[in-house]
Amino acid sequence: MQQTNNPQELAAIAKKIRRHIVEMTGAAKSGHPGGSLSATDILVTLYWDVMRHDPANPKWPQRDRFILSKGHAAPVLYSVLAECGYCPVDQLLTLRKLGSMYQGHPDIRFLPVLEASTGSLGQGLSLALGMGEGLKLDGYDSRVYVMIGDGESQEGQIWEAAMYGSFHKVDNVCCIVDYNKIQLDGFVKDILDLAPLADKWRAFGWHTLEIDGHDLAAIKAAFTEAAATKGKPTCIVAHTVKGKGVSFMENNPKFHGVAPTPQEVELALKELA
């Protein structure tokens, strides 16, 4: 695949990924568009500009890894993997169909190029830290990226893992919090607030950055700083907008787990033209 650090090219890829997300969830009549759209710019930057990986050799031992701990945002991961060349673009619309490689949550039994099966929230950071330590034992300088949700951050396992990661200096792991301020059925601040979230990560011993998770240059700079940080893992608290890119989905809790209707798909695709 052709990687790029050209902002226009990255933005064009991100738009294409957002179109896939809308079309896939529309076709499935179910799924999670909001949290897929909020994560898009970060995943595009990772796969096209930051990570060392090779779709022609998906299990290359020295590759960087990405784990989508918030596995319900599978449409963004599938679209990115497909556009990178890991799996077919022309089957994306089989999302959530019986037997599809594109199950409702990432399932390595159906899609072996995944790094892990995810969807049971709270587990991905622990997986990433285990992989990070394993890579160090193997003598590789590969990095492990893991994205968690803000609602997901209410899980106790996240904070057990956070404690572990700094104590064991797992500095090849970078956790990204998709801080879109909305969880399953409402705003995080009304359900179980996380603020001040960056201070919490700092208190747990992580090198912590706060960025606009839709600013491609800021995303890239944060990953560069993370890679240069030794002796502690890095957490990027990425302020994002749930539903980003589709006006009627933006910051709208309804589109956490509701698919767009055929009319809404049409409208959304016009906005993403």
**CB 267 → ligand TPP: shortest distance, Å?**
21
**CB 179 → ligand TPP: shortest distance, Å?**
9
**Rounded CA gap, 67 and 53, in Å?**
14
**Tokens for 42?**
């970060």
241: Cβ–Cβ under 8 A, 6 or more apart, which residues?
38, 180, 214, 250, 251
Quick one: which of 41, 64, 107, 150 contacts Mg ion (CB under 5 A)? Answer: 150
The footprint of ligand TPP on this chain (CB under 6 A) covers a number of residues equal to 21
- 86 or 145: CB nearest Mg ion: 145
Q: Work out whether 25 is an interface residue with ligand TPP (CB under 6 A).
A: no
Give CA 162 to chain center in angstroms: 18
Window contacting Mg ion (CB under 5 A); options: 6-14, 77-85, 181-189, 202-210? 181-189
224: Cβ–Cβ under 8 A, 6 or more apart, which residues?
none
Window contacting ligand TPP (CB under 6 A); options: 20-28, 51-59, 119-127, 136-144? 119-127
Q: Per-residue contact track with ligand TPP, 129 to 158, x per CB under 6 A?
A: --------------------xxxx------
**Tokens for 12?**
């064009």
Q: Work out whether 107 is an interface residue with ligand TPP (CB under 6 A).
A: no
Quick one: which of 180, 194, 206, 222 contacts ligand TPP (CB under 6 A)? Answer: 180
- 121 or 129: CB nearest ligand TPP: 121
Which class for 234: exposed (0-12), middle (13-18), buried (19 or more C-beta within 10 A)? buried
- 10 or 43: CB nearest Mg ion: 43
**Rounded CA gap, 45 and 47, in Å?**
6
Q: Work out whether 180 is an interface residue with Mg ion (CB under 5 A).
A: yes
Which class for 85: exposed (0-12), middle (13-18), buried (19 or more C-beta within 10 A)? middle
Helix/strand/coil percentages in the chain, nearest 5: 45, 10, 40
227: Cβ–Cβ under 8 A, 6 or more apart, which residues?
143, 174
Q: Work out whether 40 is an interface residue with ligand TPP (CB under 6 A).
A: no
Q: Per-residue contact track with ligand TPP, 58 to 97, x per CB under 6 A?
A: ------------x-xx------------------------
User: What is the DSSP secondary structure assignment for residue 46, as one 8-state letter?
Assistant: I
With CB under 5 to 8 Å by kind, the binding choice for 152 among ligand TPP, Mg ion, none is ligand TPP
Q: Work out whether 253 is an interface residue with ligand TPP (CB under 6 A).
A: no
Residues that bind Mg ion (CB under 5 A): 149-151, 180, 182
